[in-house]
Amino acid sequence: GHPEDFTLAELQELDAGSWHDPRLSWDRDYTGEKLITLDQLLDAFGSSLSYHIELKRPTPGLPEAVVAAVRARGLVANTYLFSIEDEAGLIRAKKIEPRLRIAWAPEDLLRDNPRRAVERCVANGFSMITLNLTNQSAELVQLAHDLGLEARSSGISSREKMIAAAELGCNGMTINWPDWLLEYVRDHESS
């Protein structure tokens, strides 16, 4: 089911690490891991991390609650709020907290009119466009940069895909192996 079909107590009883996809495991077995709330995450790590908080789908009150949680801890500068489906929620969040950095992955628009997708991010006052392996190109990344946006790549599931995104000029990426990326950056900064 969906998370909203359960109480918070029920969700926190689940073994979030019991599923296993060997393609995504890199350093240990996560069996026994429990879910934590956004408040618990922000309280535990504070300003030591940068956060990319995703609104999975339009949910009444969620953008407002996320902004309140981030603001209450003074973490606006550490946070990107991200969504694929919820452009309206991202716009509301930006109106509530203009300093909040917004990342959007308008997948349908990127498929139909990539230039318009980048322009719409700019028009909305967003900070970043999130691309993926099916829609990213050097031209699109350059357009984003020319218009003042960061470009992020998602769907990175191998070293080859990571290198391809880096070589396109993406500012960042969603990756389960940050050590690979750190190694790549170190190697290319020294050469």
pLDDT at 128 over 80: yes
Q: How many CA atoms lie within 13 A of 40 on its CB side?
A: 6
pLDDT at 145 over 90: yes
What is the CATH code of the structural domain delimited by 46-189?
3.20.20.190
Q: 11-20, 30-39, 52-61, 143-152 — which one is most confidently predicted on average?
A: 143-152
pLDDT at 157 over 70: yes
- The residues spanned by each domain of the chain are 1-35, 46-189
Of 102, 48, 38, 101, which is closest to residue 72 (Cα–Cα)? 38
191: confidence class by pLDDT, cuts 50, 70, 90 = low
Hey, which residues does 3 pair with through a beta bridge?
none
